[in-house]
Amino acid sequence: MIAADTDDPGPELRMRSGNLNAIVRRICVEARDTISIDLRPADQNLFPAFDAGAHIGLHLPNGIVRNYSLVNAPQERDRYLLGVLRSRVSRGGSSFIHESLREGDRLIITYPRNNFRLDESGERYVLIAGGIGVTPIYCMAQRLLSLGKCVEMLYCCRSRKHAAWLRSIESLDIPLTLHFDAEQGGPLNLGAFMAGRDHETRYYCCGPTQMLGDFERTSAQYGYPHAHIERFEADPVLSRNDNPGYDVLLARSGRLVHVEPGARLLDALLRAGVDVPFSCVQGFCGSCEVAVLDGKIHHRDSVLSEAERVRGRSLMTCVSSCDGGRLILDC
């Protein structure tokens, strides 16, 4: 989740609805198992503006919706550039893109959404990327350089062959530390890298679960107040013991939907015929966020800040639930 001192976008800014039409202009191999997708507007000259750290959803022809971070600099309104890692355990998104997507294909995409918002008020930044987590980090580096900020970057990968956009990142005029596990005998000691730094520096990290855990522990150990992460894995799904079942009142229609013990709220809504958008079903993309009018929420996502969780104005239907009583949703 994003640290609480970041400007709070609120659910109303994350839940922008509507889609855009795009054309796949170019597909390039950026590294082993990673390709870039260069999308251009199909119906207009420019895409909507986006902030560093944002992502878009791709409506793939096989019926799947998948979210990918924007890589290019935010000032480039004529395109959206994505990086797609072929997952070893693909659920149909990355495998379809790598095997079946072609240049010239038309896609429906969502408006940009941002759960990893960059606080541009600082002067010094340390950006930390692990593997495909480089996609939003590289975007942030470009944005911060355009603002004249002091930027340092750490980029970790399994090997040099797996490092996407390596040459472009090396050409940036910033201090850069590269760490390749295969060449250096294992993962980087993140604690040593982050030790003794300025407490006013802003830290942003995106990468695998182990790296994010190390980053959070190190930031807490050294008392760094401006530490932010983007997580691609949510807490485990609810068990029957965690969720004994509850009722949900849909305020707009007056309908009452029952969520069975151990079941997901999203599944219950879909079975009831409620048109709820969704994508990752793991609590990290924010696509299934709905507004909450009343009820005690058990949050299990990686999108909302602590301040948003306390306010209780929205939840992610794919992983969150009612923590006693019933929920009233604005849908």
Architecture in CATH for domain 246-329: Roll (3.10)
- Where does the pLDDT of residue 279 fall: very low under 50, low under 70, confident under 90, or very high at 90 and above? confident
| Mean pLDDT value of segment 1-13 | 39
Q: What are phi and psi of 130, to 5 degrees?
A: -125, 120
Instruction: Supply the pLDDT for residue 16.
Output: 52
Instruction: Tell me if 279 sits within 8 A of 266, measured CB to CB.
Output: no
- Give the Cα separation of 133 and 71 in Å (integer): 10
Q: For a pLDDT cut of 70, what percent of the chain falls above it? A: 90
Q: Report residue 261's pLDDT band, with 50, 70 and 90 as the boundaries.
A: confident
Q: How confident is the model at residue 276, as a pLDDT?
A: 82
pLDDT at 211: 94
pLDDT, tens digit (0-9, with 9 covering 90-100), for 294-329: 999 988 887 887 778 889 999 989 889 998 789 999
Contacts of 261 (CB under 8 A, 6+ apart): 240, 243, 244, 245
What pLDDT score does 12 carry? 45
Question: For the segment 190-246, what is each residue's pLDDT rounded down to a tens digit?
Answer: 999 999 999 999 999 999 989 999 999 999 999 999 999 886 654 445 555 567 789
pLDDT for 33 equals 96
Tens-digit pLDDT profile for residues 120-139: 999 999 999 999 999 999 99
* Contact assessment for residue 92 and residue 62, using Cβ atoms and an 8 Å cutoff: yes
User: Residue 135's pLDDT is what?
Assistant: 97
Per-residue pLDDT at 9: 45
The whole-number pLDDT of residue 1 equals: 30
59-74 mean pLDDT: 92
Residue 154's pLDDT is 99
pLDDT given at position 63: 83
pLDDT of residue 239: 52
Q: What is the CATH number of domain 10-110?
A: 2.40.30.10
pLDDT at 13 over 50: no
Give Cα separations from 95 to 64, 90, 136, 196, 272 (angstroms): 11, 6, 21, 42, 31
Topology of domain 124-230, per CATH? Rossmann fold (3.40.50)
pLDDT of residue 3: 35
3-state secondary structure 273-308: CCCCCCCCCCCCCCCCEEEEEECCEECCCCCCCHHH
Q: What is the pLDDT of residue 314?
A: 92
- Integer Cα distance of 226 and 322 in angstroms: 31
Q: Is this model's pTM higher than 0.85 or not?
A: no
Q: How confident is the model over 25-49, as pLDDT tens digits?
A: 999 999 999 999 999 999 988 999 9
Query: Quick check: 89 pLDDT over 60?
Result: yes
Domain boundaries, the chain: 10-110, 124-230, 246-329
Neighbouring-strand partners of residue 255: 250
Torsion angle, CA of 27/178/192/121, rounded to 10 degrees? -60
Band the pLDDT of 62: cuts 50, 70, 90: confident
Mean pLDDT of 60-65: 86
- CA 71 from centre of chain: 12
Q: Give the pLDDT band (50/70/90) at residue 90.
A: low
- In the DSSP assignment, the letter for residue 145 is H
pLDDT at site 233:
54
Tell me how far apart the 2 most distant CA atoms of the chain are, in Å: 61
Q: Which among 91, 23, 26 is positioned nearest to 62, based on CA atoms?
A: 91
The DSSP line for 171-194 is: TSSS-EEEEEHHHHTS---HHHHH
